[in-house]
């Protein structure tokens, strides 16, 4: 669900470094450098990058700029092309049977491991050309005054991807504002051993 939805999963970050004033004028250029690249007409299994907050199909920001008053708003788009294991297994077996028949006619009795591996790759590529990638969109809102970044997901793999791409794009690092990190910021690094050993209290 997006930031403008009535309910959503949200992860909040604090930018570790001081943001240089020169960065603000470079925001759109940096987003464009790492913008989403479509893979509909390829056999690539994954593609990700930034897109416009107002139009998830717009990776050139022609619909609207990322600046929204005191905030920056854009989105991470992640397209994934997957072949269900059962489908791959079925079509591999079909092609394997046909290959065995052809080899038998040529007087060859056995199929080598390399031949099987190559055949499986060929089948996979063939199926990939027939499989459309599934798109996913995750909104990003950056509070420029407080250096807080809000990301519309809590999925660990998506968070890892977002954090790496954010750092690569803006040369800034994000610190998750979880209760653990908030407590560490308030109490100080010297309290880290105590915080790490805390256990939840059951009141019922």
Spatial distance between the Cα atoms of 161 and 166, rounded to a whole number of angstroms: 9
**What beta strand segments (E) does the chain contain?**
11-15, 46-52, 67-68, 71-80, 134-143, 148-151, 174-176
Spatial distance between the Cα atoms of 194 and 76, rounded to a whole number of angstroms: 36
pLDDT at 195: 62
- Closest residue by Cα to residue 51 from 167, 139, 165, 141: 139
pLDDT at 185: 67
Burial of 166 (0-12, 13-18, 19+ CB in 10 A): buried
pLDDT at 5: 76
List the chain residues with pLDDT less than 70: 1, 180-185, 187-188, 191-192, 194-196, 198, 204
pLDDT at 60: 96
| DSSP-derived 3-state class of residue 13 | strand
Is the alpha carbon torsion for 90, 95, 100, 104 positive or negative? positive
Asked whether the beta carbons of 38 and 60 are under 8 A apart, the reply is no
Structure tokens of 203? 């009141």
Residue ranges per structural domain of the chain:
11-81+132-176, 85-128
Phi (first) and psi of residue 34, to 5 degrees: -120, 35
Is the alpha carbon torsion for 24, 26, 28, 34 positive or negative? negative
Spatial distance between the Cα atoms of 83 and 21, rounded to a whole number of angstroms: 46
Full-prediction pTM beyond 0.85?
no
pLDDT at 107: 74
Residue 1 CB-half CA count within 13 A: 9
pLDDT at 137: 94
pLDDT at 101: 84
Structure tokens of 73? 């708003």
Asked whether the beta carbons of 35 and 51 are under 8 A apart, the reply is yes
Phi (first) and psi of residue 52, to 5 degrees: -70, 140
């Amino acid at each position: 669900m997006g930031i403008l939805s009535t309910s959503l999963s949200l992860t909040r970050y604090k930018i570790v470094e001081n943001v240089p004033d020169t960065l603000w004028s470079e925001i759109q250029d940096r987003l464009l450098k790492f913008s989403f690249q479509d893979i509909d007409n390829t056999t690539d299994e994954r593609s990700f990058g930034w897109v416009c907050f107002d139009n998830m199909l717009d990776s050139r920001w022609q619909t609207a700029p990322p600046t929204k008053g005191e905030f920056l708003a854009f989105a991470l788009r992640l397209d994934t092309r997957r072949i269900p294991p059962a489908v791959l297994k079925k079509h591999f077996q079909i092609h394997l049977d046909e290959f065995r028949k052809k080899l038998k006619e040529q007087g060859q009795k056995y199929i080598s491991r390399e031949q099987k591996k190559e055949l499986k790759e060929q089948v996979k590529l063939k199926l990939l050309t027939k499989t459309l990638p599934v798109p996913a969109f995750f909104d990003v809102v950056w509070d420029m005054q407080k250096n807080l970044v809000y990301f519309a997901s809590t999925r660990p793999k998506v968070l890892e991807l977002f954090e790496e791409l954010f750092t690569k794009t803006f040369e800034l690092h994000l610190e998750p504002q979880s209760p653990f990190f908030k407590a560490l910021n308030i109490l100080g690094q010297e309290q880290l051993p105590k915080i790490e050993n805390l256990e939840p209290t059951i009141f019922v």
